[in-house]
Each structure stands twice: as C-alpha cells, then as structure tokens.
Structure 1
Amino acid sequence: MTVLLAIDQGTTSTRAIVFAPDGGKRAVAQRELPQHFPKPGWVEHDAEQIWADTVTCVRDALRQAGLKAGDVAAIGITNQRETAVIWDRASGKPIHHAIVWQDRRTSAFCQQHQDKSEWLAQRTGLLLDPYFSATKIGWLLDHVDGARARAEKGELAFGTIDSWLLWQLTGGKAHVTDATNASRTALFNLRTQDWDDELLDFFGVPRALLPQVLDTAADFGTTQAELFGGGIAIGGVAGDQQAATIGQACFTPGMIKSTYGTGCFMVLNTGDELKRSKHRLLSTVAYRLENKPTFALEGSIFVAGAAVQWLRDAMHLIKAAGETERLARSIEDTQGVYLVPAFTGLGAPYWDPQARGAVFGLTRDTGIAHIVRAALESVGYQTRDLLRAMEQDAVSPTELRVDGGMVVNDWLTQCLADILQIPTVRPRTVETTALGAAFVAGLQVGVYGSLDDIAKLWQAERRFEPKMDRARADALYAGWQDAVQRVRT
C-alpha cells in the first residue's frame, strides 16, 4: 500500500503520523518535548533533541504500520513556526538552543523601534513583535561569541524548524524552507515573495544565512537512505497553522478555521487578495502552489492548551488534561471567575508583550473546578476576540471549523459555539495539521491531482450549535474584556 507520512514538530511534542491516501490514520508515534525557561519570558528548545525525536517517531510509526520506506509515497513536514535555529554548516550542530516563538527576550528592541511598525507591516503583513523570527536571529548573532562574523562569511545557516529538519533529513543537501514559514520571519516580502534586502539590513541579518524559499508543495529533497531503510521523497512543507488550513480544506476565500494546541490560531482564506488588517491581525501566506500565493488573515493567541498544561504542571490542580471536561461540567458556571492566561503577553488583537496572567473574581467558595473551567472559557473568549477582528476586517463567518488536541473535549467545543454564537464544526480527523502536511506532499507526488481532490476527502464528525442565549454570551464576554483591561494597566 502507498501511504503518506507527516512529521508534525510542535511546541510541546514531536510526532510522526502515517496516513492512507483517503486521509485515514494508520499509525502515530509521539515524544514530548521539554521546554527550557532560562529566564522569565524566555523559552528555548534543544534542536538536537527535536531532530533525534523526529527520527525515533518516524521509525516507530513505520514499524507500527508494518511499512518500509518504499511504501511511503512522500513525507510532508509541518512545524511550530517562528522558532529560530542557527547551526554550523560544516558540523550541522546548533550554535545555541532554538529560541521558541513564545520567547519575549527581544521585547525591548521591538518597543524601541515601534516607529517602524507600519513600514514592516506593509512589506511583511506582520507586526514588530518578539513573536517573529527576525529579532531572534539578531539576538543569536549578537550574543553567541563570533556568530555574526561567521554568519557573514557564510559558515552558519538559519532556519525555522522545517529548515532544520530538512537539512538533517537530507544530510545537509537542502537548505530550504517554504513560503508559509518564510512569511513568518519578518524578513519576507509578501508582494515580491522573496527575502527583502531592506528588512535584512534593518534586522542585521546576512542574506548568506537564509534558506531558499520554495512552494508549499515542492521537491524538498530525499531522506538519507540510512535513516529509514531507504530514501523517501519530501514533497510538502507548511507551517502548522497553514497546514491545518489545508487539512481543513479551507480553499475558498471566506472559509475560516481555528486550531487549538499550545496556542490558538484562527486563519481566514482571502484568496489572491493580500488583505491588510485594521485590527492588528496578520497578513500571511496560506499556501503557495506553482509559484502562486494564496493569502490569509491570521489571529494568534499565545496560550490555549498551554493553560491546561499550566494547571497540570505548575499548579498541580489536575493530573491529566482529560480531567478538565469532567471538572467543567461539575459546576453551572465560574461564579464570576476569569483567568487571563497572558503568561507571555497577549497576542492578537492586543499585541501587548508586557501583559501578564491573572485570575480575577476569587471568593471563599472558589474551588479547583471554577479555575479549571475559567481556563477553558478563556480559550473561547480569546477566540471571540479574534472573530470580532475578522468580522470587522473581512467577513462574518457562518461557521468555524475547529481542530487540534483541545477540541476532542466536547464541553470546550460546545463552549466555543456558545461564546462565539456561531456553529463550530469538528472534522472526522482532528489531526488536521499533520493531515495538511500529508496532503501537500501527496499533491507534489501525484497522489492527488488538485486541491479539489483533497477537499472531497474532508468530512465533519460533529457540528455544535450555540445553546446559550446571546444576551448571556455577551454578558460573559463583557466580563472577559474587563479582566483583559486589568492585566494591561
């Protein structure tokens, strides 16, 4: 049997998933990824561990499925975006831990240069914020001994996680990325679809450091034969949220999806129109095929599933994420408790790196269930923040396609429908990020003839209609807005 294999390298785990051509899941292997927090607001990953875990997961997934390298038509890669790695071209070793997209160490630089925000947005569709890769690259070049001089000599290579994995998978033959990941660096010009020399000068990034930018479905090289018992073509690469957009078959302008993983990311397909947001959403590349970009508006929330991790790992209020649904159902409401999970600042539409998390409305009667439910509700409220901005910038969606690990929780998915006051639709395959990577790889090698072939495979598993009356939803949301204002002052 011919299958597709997706490498899904996320913020908290690395996975390999084997898919049949119809999108059915054949095997999954996963390893958790430790987070490193060297200082408050700093977040790092060990890039070498990411690579080792990737190899282990691919081997495990193939073994589970009883398959060999020759059974795999192609590999697709999807990845946490904006996370920056710089490595030595000769040795293939990173010069420092990867700096993760959540990291805020470059906040001072961004604050100092806010007068450049509009200039940056016109070229990149992004804001001047520590979230994006450019300031992370600058920090690494300035803080690792000799790095800047070595970069200018061409001895070092930069990549987001996709590029890092491609380099390792191909034995250093491919220093490439795709247009979706490039569009998240703040170095890529959306109109020219290439690295922008003025941006490189501003951020102090030598062009010699950067990978070549390819389409989302393209020839990204072949894996070293010794890794998996034979070479496998790598046919697709997409940043995680763009991959989920493809996995959700949001191919028509106006279609919208929201993914709930570590963070929450809402993406609206705007077709060939590069739409500029007036409400601090991002313009980005949804995918690029045959050198033609399809654009999107995106709203990014830094903390969604990470709030549940915090409840489990830092506060020890739960032992497993699965407990949250039972606890949320055990009470009628939070009794006015709001949790604002601004652990690393607030994302869209606020973009406030100085905001910090807080819990409001505590009383003597407040218990674990109230705080857990407030954490889940915060995901709904943040999603409504994004949806309002989307409506004001572009269209009012009639439904929201949702995916990611959090939406297996029926209570949360119903909560989203209630707070948003529109239906939420959960697909048959909630692993849409990995599925999207598999789809574009399949498109490259001819498993699928077109995006229409992929769209026909999408199926809804369940549709959640709003059950809460609008007045109640509006009142709860007003309380959230008040809580947000308090963490911003």
Structure 2
Amino acid sequence: MGSTSASPTFIGAIDQGTTSTRFLIFNRHGEPVASHQLEFKQYYPNPGWHEHDPLEIVESVEKCINGAVEAFERQGHPAKSIQAIGITNQRETTVVWNKKTGEPLYNAIVWTDTRSQHLVRELKQRLGAREVQPICGIPLSTYPSVSKLLWLLDNVPAVREAYDAGELAFGTVDTWLVYKLNGGPARNVFVTDPSNASRTMFVNLETLTYDDRLFDFFRLDRHKLHIAKIVPSAEKSAYGQLAGTVLKGVRITGCLGDQSAALVGQKGFYPGMAKNTYGTGCFLLYNIGPKPVASTHGLMTTVAFDFRGSGDGSIATPMYALEGSIAVGGSSIKFLQENFGFISSSKEISALAETVEDNGGCVFVTAFSGLFAPYWYDDAQGTIFGITQYTKRGHIARATLEATCFQTKAILDAMEKDSGHALKELAVDGGMCNSDLTMQTQADINGIPVHRPAMRETTALGAAIAAGFAVGMWKTFDDLKDVNVEGSTKFYPKISKEERDARFAKWEKAVQMSRGWLS
C-alpha cells in the first residue's frame, strides 16, 4: 500500500467550509491524528446577502495548518512525514481579484447568497436558456457562481474596470486558496478541479472543458476574463506547493468540492452508491458512473471526481453524480430549539421524539424557504398537518425529524428514475446522523440499510484520499476497503413496504397542501 519506507507517512487535508476552516492530518488507515479548527466572520450586508472576506479565508487556512502541525509534533511525529495536502471547499462561493496584484476586488459572495434573483429571472427569459442545463448539468438559479459574477460586473465598478482592462481573475474558493497558498502572482498557480469547475455553469459536462456557447449565453468575453485551468482532482504537480506556514514546500496534490469529497470519503466510488450529508441543509450525491445523465426529475448533474492518471492508472475515467439538496435539515431542529423552546440543545431532539411511539398523525412540511429538490416549489411554506388535542411536543419533534427523512426518500426516488440504478444502501454523515432514531427512521422510510461510519470526518478524508492517490499512498480503490470501517453502524428497515408506502403517501399529500401560501 503506497510507500515502502519504514517511517509512517501522513496526508494533510484543508477543509474550508461555509462557517469554519479546518486542517486535519490523516494516517494511511484514514484515521485523523491531529486537527485544528477556526470559525471566521460571516457578513450579511443586506437581506439575502452573504459574504466572506477572501483574505480572512486564506489566513484561517494558514493558522489551521500551523495549529494542527503543532499538535501533530507534540505527539512525536515529525512535520516532514506529511507527504502531501488535499483541499476540500465550500462550492459556488465566488472570488474576484486583480490578476496582476493578486488583491481581491470585493468580498467573496457565498453560495447561499440570493442577491442575483432579478438577474436569474432575466436569464431565464433569454433566448437559448433551455439549452444551458443540458450542457452544464445545473439549472439557472442564484446558486451557481456565474450569477454572482454577473452581479459583480454590473454593480462593482472596480470589478468592471478590471474586466474591461483584461485583468479580472475569477475563481471558486479552491482556485483562490491554491493561488494564494502558492504565493499569489509571483508563482501564479491558477487551477481548479472538475468537481468545482462544474459548479460555475461554464463547463461542458461531456468534455470537462469550458464551453464557448455558455460564455456567449452569459454575454461574457473569455479573452477578458481569466479563468482557472481545469486539472484532475488528484494531480502530483499542477496544484503547486505551500509558499508559507510550517509546511512550506509541501505539495498540494488533491482538490474536491465539499459534497464530492464527502462522497469520496464515504468510498462512493462506484455507480449506485450514494451519501447524504445532514448539515444545516442536506446534500445527497449519487454516483452514476462514467457518463453524465441529464436529470428529468429536478436534480443537478455534477462531477463526482476525476482521478485520471493517479494511483496505478486503473482509474481511467471521471465519475459523475446526480445531486439533490434539501434546504432545511439540521436548521429545523434549531427552529424547535430557538423559536418554540421545545429543547435547550439540538442533542435533546431524539430524547423528546422518543417520549412518543410515533408522530401521532402529525406531518411537518419544513418548507421555511420553499422546497428544493425534487419539488422546486418556491410557493410552499412551513406547515404542520394533523394537529389534534392529543398532539404533544414529542409528536412535533418526531414529525420534524421525519420531514428530512421523507425529503431524502423523494430525492432518492428521483435519482433511481434518472439513473436506472436501484440504490442498495445509503451512507450518511453530518450532525443529524448522530441521532439513532433519525437514522432508523431514514432506513424505515427508504426501505434500504443506512450506513453510518464511526469516523464522521468524511469530507476531509475525501480530500486526503484525492491527495494520497496522486502521491501513491493508495494505488487503487481496493486499497481503501479497510479504511473507516471499524465501529460503523448499520440501520436496517423494520417496517413493511405497505406501511412505508402509506407514510410516504401522507407526506406527499402534505407537500401538495403546503403550496400556494406565498402568492
């Protein structure tokens, strides 16, 4: 397995998320041996706006590297045993900077930001709008990077001036980090991987190259805009090396967007494998194999990973995934805590739900900001059905947990129809998966086993795996079969198909009844 030297080797992983940055150091068994985490500032200048300071993101990464290495050395490991570094990052978040100076021209606009709504409405009316998603896999919305870039060009004079002068560099967080960690304009390492590039709306999913038809549709001049070169997700030289920190000179050899990284960290290497990350919202990725499949059921098509040319060369093709997102996951538990005062911390949700046998006839459609995949109902609002004098707090708590499970099933059903592959089991990670009751409910509603690993740092592990493939720490997917298997839990369905179908039919009825509140 990888190197033959006697001294143990390690891989570092930068996990740059929406609210915090972390650096983790993994051994060859995929176990984290040291880590450091920092939260950074969130900016909300107007309703629906969400920004980060791009320089603070870089600074947080460098501090986390130094902090984790310090803890690593205290355990007696030499820093030089860290062979390579992988990066995983929040996707779609958009950074613009001056190509000559390397200075950002505006705050990073975060993936959750909705300021470009009016622009998106205009784009949907534009001639050729229907041809966009079949090329790039993503529907026109405020979510991908392009709408954020168009807003910047329209509203920030410094960005427009740099564009007109041919000096505007645009990138997602991975590109910005690689560029800055390599030392900025002096080295000018300006790259991205397909899992991130495919979230911009500029990439042809078939060819994994930028498509002029997309630039033409968005009325952008490719010669004025500097965009990153697309290289494989595992690559031994393209991402350069650290110019600073205590790991100066260590190569960056892997890069994956966070949801792709979680799929890799869950070892979802083959078609028909899927993972659900239960965070604030939920992100479900389903491996569909080496050919992109256009969704006809309200899902996005994205690049899962591209490990071509790494390992022993047996991974000869990029893999694709269908993706569905649920707007409200863990945030529904926060809602019960902060708005209703049902619990004093989110950890108590399961205990409250377990005070009752079932939901007592309650169904809670948690459409706080409409419903995402596969429904895409923006006129739906949060609605609780079936309340009687019998209803207790426990019933509402249970219905809240079930809402995420029902939406997960709706997405999985859509994925099965789109892909033609039946799902055999669902791998899970993220905060909500700590609840045994929620995971058992998920297995019951899906009718397939739910697999929860003991070590939940799957996103960072995915970045480490990408970096490890590039430097030969692992050669094949088979080398990883024993990684993160010990102590895992499987939840098997315990209810009949009839009961499952009846419960899901009731949920679907509630979804239809929650529509039309927003006229």
TM-score of the aligned structures, taking structure 1 as reference length: 0.92
How is 1:316-465 mapped onto 2 (pairs within 5 angstroms)? 317-353=342-378, 355-362=380-387, 368-393=393-418, 394-459=420-485, 461-465=488-492
Q: Distance in 1 between matches of 2:169 and 2:260?
A: 24
Q: Distance in 1 between matches of 2:386 and 2:122?
A: 35
Q: Distance in 2 between matches of 1:383 and 1:333?
A: 19
| Alignment match, 1:64 | 71
| Alignment match, 1:217 | 234
| Alignment match, 1:481 | 508
Q: Distance in 2 between matches of 1:413 and 1:426?
A: 8
Question: Could you tell me whether the CA contact under 8 Å between 1:124 and 1:187 is conserved in 2?
Answer: yes
| Larger deviation, residues 155-164 vs 414-423 | 155-164
| Alignment match, 2:130 | 118
- Specify whether residues 265 and 62 from structure 1 end up closer, same or farther in structure 2 by C-alpha distance, changes over 3 A only: same
| Alignment match, 2:314 | none
| Alignment match, 2:195 | 180
Larger radius of gyration: 2
Give, in angstroms, the shift of residue 19 of structure 1: 0.8
Question: Could you tell me whether the CA contact under 8 Å between 2:273 and 2:287 is conserved in 1?
Answer: yes
- Specify whether residues 224 and 401 from structure 1 end up closer, same or farther in structure 2 by C-alpha distance, changes over 3 A only: closer
Q: Distance in 1 between matches of 2:53 and 2:337?
A: 23
Instruction: Output the amino acid matched with 1:414.
Output: Q
- Specify whether residues 369 and 14 from structure 1 end up closer, same or farther in structure 2 by C-alpha distance, changes over 3 A only: farther
Q: Distance in 1 between matches of 2:368 and 2:53?
A: 21
Q: Distance in 2 between matches of 1:311 and 1:47?
A: 34
Instruction: Output the amino acid matched with 2:326.
Output: I
| Alignment match, 1:81 | 91
- Specify whether residues 335 and 351 from structure 1 end up closer, same or farther in structure 2 by C-alpha distance, changes over 3 A only: same
| Alignment match, 2:498 | 471
Question: Could you tell me whether the CA contact under 8 Å between 1:137 and 1:205 is conserved in 2?
Answer: no
1:29 corresponds to which of 29, 36, 42 = 36
Q: What is the CA deviation profile of residues 236-290 of structure 1, one whole-angstrom value per residue up to 9, with x for unaligned ones?
A: 0001111111112222222222222232222222222221222122221111122
| Alignment match, 1:296 | 321
| Alignment match, 1:13 | 20
Q: What is the CA deviation profile of residues 325-373 of structure 1, one whole-angstrom value per residue up to 9, with x for unaligned ones?
A: 2222223333344443334443211234454444445556656544443
Give, in angstroms, the shift of residue 23 of structure 1: 0.5
- 1:193 and 2:203 equivalent? no
- Specify whether residues 356 and 136 from structure 1 end up closer, same or farther in structure 2 by C-alpha distance, changes over 3 A only: farther
TM-score of the aligned structures, taking structure 2 as reference length: 0.87
Q: Distance in 1 between matches of 2:394 and 2:55?
A: 39
Question: Could you tell me whether the CA contact under 8 Å between 1:102 and 1:344 is conserved in 2?
Answer: no
Q: Distance in 1 between matches of 2:340 and 2:38?
A: 23
Q: Distance in 2 between matches of 1:411 and 1:232?
A: 43
Q: Distance in 1 between matches of 2:363 and 2:107?
A: 35
Q: Distance in 2 between matches of 1:72 and 1:109?
A: 46
How is 1:250-265 mapped onto 2 (pairs within 5 angstroms)? 250-265=268-283
- Specify whether residues 468 and 433 from structure 1 end up closer, same or farther in structure 2 by C-alpha distance, changes over 3 A only: same
> Which secondary structure does the structure 1 equivalent of 2:97 belong to?
strand
1:270 corresponds to which of 273, 277, 288 = 288
| Larger deviation, residues 186-195 vs 90-99 | 90-99
- 1:102 and 2:117 equivalent? no
| Larger deviation, residues 164-173 vs 377-386 | 164-173
- 1:4 and 2:11 equivalent? yes
Q: Distance in 2 between matches of 1:316 and 1:16?
A: 35
Give, in angstroms, the shift of residue 316 of structure 1: 5.4
Q: Distance in 2 between matches of 1:247 and 1:107?
A: 34
| Larger deviation, residues 354-363 vs 180-189 | 354-363
Q: Distance in 2 between matches of 1:90 and 1:366?
A: 64
| Alignment match, 1:170 | 182
Q: What is the CA deviation profile of residues 26-50 of structure 1, one whole-angstrom value per residue up to 9, with x for unaligned ones?
A: 1232223454433443333333332
- Specify whether residues 488 and 269 from structure 1 end up closer, same or farther in structure 2 by C-alpha distance, changes over 3 A only: same
- Specify whether residues 165 and 340 from structure 1 end up closer, same or farther in structure 2 by C-alpha distance, changes over 3 A only: farther
Question: Could you tell me whether the CA contact under 8 Å between 1:334 and 1:373 is conserved in 2?
Answer: yes
How is 1:121-160 mapped onto 2 (pairs within 5 angstroms)? 121-160=133-172
Q: Distance in 1 between matches of 2:379 and 2:336?
A: 22
- Specify whether residues 152 and 456 from structure 1 end up closer, same or farther in structure 2 by C-alpha distance, changes over 3 A only: farther
Instruction: Output the amino acid matched with 1:439.
Output: I
| Alignment match, 2:55 | 48
Question: Could you tell me whether the CA contact under 8 Å between 1:103 and 1:344 is conserved in 2?
Answer: no
Give, in angstroms, the shift of residue 399 of structure 1: 1.3
Q: Distance in 2 between matches of 1:413 and 1:12?
A: 25
Instruction: Output the amino acid matched with 1:54.
Output: V
Q: Distance in 2 between matches of 1:162 and 1:316?
A: 39
Which consecutive unaligned segments of at least 5 residues does structure 1 have? none
Give, in angstroms, the shift of residue 91 of structure 1: 4.5
Instruction: Output the amino acid matched with 2:212.
Output: D
Give, in angstroms, the shift of residue 215 of structure 1: 0.5
Give, in angstroms, the shift of residue 474 of structure 1: 2.9
Percent identical pairs in the alignment equals 43
Give, in angstroms, the shift of residue 124 of structure 1: 0.5
Give, in angstroms, the shift of residue 142 of structure 1: 1.0
How is 1:230-249 mapped onto 2 (pairs within 5 angstroms)? 230-249=248-267
Question: Could you tell me whether the CA contact under 8 Å between 2:31 and 2:484 is conserved in 1?
Answer: no
| Larger deviation, residues 57-66 vs 15-24 | 57-66
Q: Distance in 2 between matches of 1:262 and 1:100?
A: 15
Q: Distance in 2 between matches of 1:46 and 1:477?
A: 43
Question: Could you tell me whether the CA contact under 8 Å between 1:220 and 1:236 is conserved in 2?
Answer: no
